[in-house]
Amino acid sequence: MATWQQKFADNTPGNGDKGQPQQHNDGLDDSQWELVFQIHQKLIEDLDATAIEKLEPDKAREAVEKAARTIMQELAPKVVGLERDTIVGHVADEVLGLGPIEGLVRDPSLSEVMVNAPDLVYYERDGIIYLSNLRFRDHRHIMRVAERIISPLGRRVDESSPYVDARLADGSRVNIIIPPVAPKSPTITIRKFRADKYTIQDLMATGTLSEELGEFLSVCVKGRLNILISGGSGTGKTTLLNAVSGFIPPTERVVTIEDPAELKLQQPHVVSLEARPANLEGKHDVTQRDLVRNALRMRPDRIIVGEVRGSEAFDMMQAMNTGHEGSLTTVHANSPRDALMRAENMILMAGFDLPVRAIREQMASALHLVIQLARFVDGSRKIISVSEISGMEGAIVTMQELFRFVHQGVDSNGRVLGEALPTGIQPRFLSRLEEMGITFPEDIFIGARR
């Protein structure tokens, strides 16, 4: 039986118009891409790969570009000027980088790069997805780039292990999934890592939250409230977590737990722990739950779990209830109530024979706030709700909404207008903050706008 690579060997789709904005345009047409691929194949034959690998990155690129220009003079002597430089640059990306998507990965204005098929390369900018005019030669070409991404990480992807999650050297997250699990084409998804630190002021400037909500969250973090940040995929949960972490006093010891690591906290005393997948024999994995339990022995003032996904939710709640207040985490959910249900289900995954009521009592005791994020049609990400966990009524965890998003229309550029405004309900934890000597402007909730 033929392997999937053999089945796809001659399957090279064209670069048709998919009806999407193409804002990342390098100006290459099909004939120019074909020239890039021809020069690359000739370089593979002519260049000494071992010698190139020994050079510094700048020197290596210089050597490859020089060789590419020589070959280009033979294959296409009439191509000169900017067109020649562009083609030579793409050839160097093929030899030393990530091929057609190297420029996208380097572009700091992009947050996501998605390869769905040889002629379907998308990217995300400011929350909106666009189709680029970049293309791969065929499915094997995508696989070569995928292997280049994961081979330095000691990972593999093949028919026996058809998908992989990994972290690039710059902190970006990458997911690769191949046939037969992705039957149409190998797929690469890269979530870019911001080199700079996102502050709460940055989020205010982009409209994620108002100044008064930012002031409220700063007091909540300084007051050591346990906070659950909820939202769908790509709503900015990790970005908000990074930003509010800036309110943690620099004198505290913070332990972060992630899979994979992408938080960039702003404190000097941070210990970062990262889960580890099993090796090729299926052994020696380290789960987030293992790390949460280990973190309790590391004298943390606060524990931050980048995202609770499974049974570690039980240990996280235990930690919050046993002196590790001020902890922060995120969860995938579409509403504050859904976030609690997700946490409950994940605690049940821990395998303990606990009644649901006991789990809910733990959650009601451990959690103080649920912050809900959403992404709007214009690509903007905003806080749409801040809810306080107020206790139990029978077997139900009760909540009261302190801030609620008020939609104020759409401007002439199609941007969604609105912000999360106080509902007028005063939090029950105000007295707790006063006992800690933390002042809070209570007038935020007096005469609140609805």
pLDDT of residue 448: 52
pLDDT at 450: 47
> pTM for this one?
0.78
How confident is the model over 138-160, as pLDDT tens digits? Answer: 999 999 999 988 888 777 888 88
Q: Which of 220, 178, 397, 184 is nearest to 325 (CA)?
A: 220
CATH class label, 200-445: alpha beta
Read off the pLDDT of residues 318-356 as tens digits, 9 standing for 90 and up: 888 877 889 999 999 999 999 999 999 998 887 777 899
pLDDT digits (tens, 9 = 90+) for 200-233: 999 999 899 999 999 999 999 999 999 999 999 8
Q: Let me know if 333 is exposed, middle or buried by CB neighbors in 10 A (0-12, 13-18, 19+).
A: buried
Domain 4-191, CATH 1.10.10.10 — does that match?
no
What mean pLDDT value characterizes the chain? 85
In the prediction, which pLDDT does 197 show? Answer: 66
Pair of tokens at residue 103: 């420029």
Is pLDDT of 170 > 50? Answer: yes
Rounded Cα distance, 445 and 234, in Å: 30
pLDDT over 70, % of the chain = 91
User: Which residue intervals of the chain bear CATH 3.30.450.380?
Assistant: 4-191
Distance CA(202)–CA(380), nearest Å, equals 13
34 or 388, higher pLDDT: 388
Q: Tell me how many degrees the CA angle 371-376-382 measures, rounded to the nearest 5.
A: 30
**Residue range 374-381: mean pLDDT, rounded:** 92
Residue-level pLDDT at 224: 94
Per-residue pLDDT, 447: 52
Which of the two residues, 55 and 187, has the higher pLDDT score? 187
Listed in order, the ranges of the chain carrying CATH 3.40.50.300 are 200-445
Q: Is the predicted pLDDT of residue 22 greater than 50, yes or no?
A: no
pLDDT at residue 2 in the model: 39
pLDDT tens for 271-311 read 999 888 777 666 788 988 899 989 989 999 999 998 988 88
pLDDT of residue 243: 93
For the stretch 70-108, pLDDT in tens is 888 888 888 888 888 888 888 888 888 888 999 899 898
Beta strands in 158-305 (DSSP E): 163-167, 173-177, 187-191, 227-231, 254-258, 270-274, 302-305
In this prediction, residue 172 carries a pLDDT of 85
Contact 95, 89 (CB under 8 A): no
**Residue 389, pLDDT score:** 96
Residues 6+ apart with CB under 8 A from 16: 119
Query: Can you give the pLDDT at residue 19?
Result: 39
387: pLDDT strictly greater than 60: yes
CA distance 119 to 18: 10
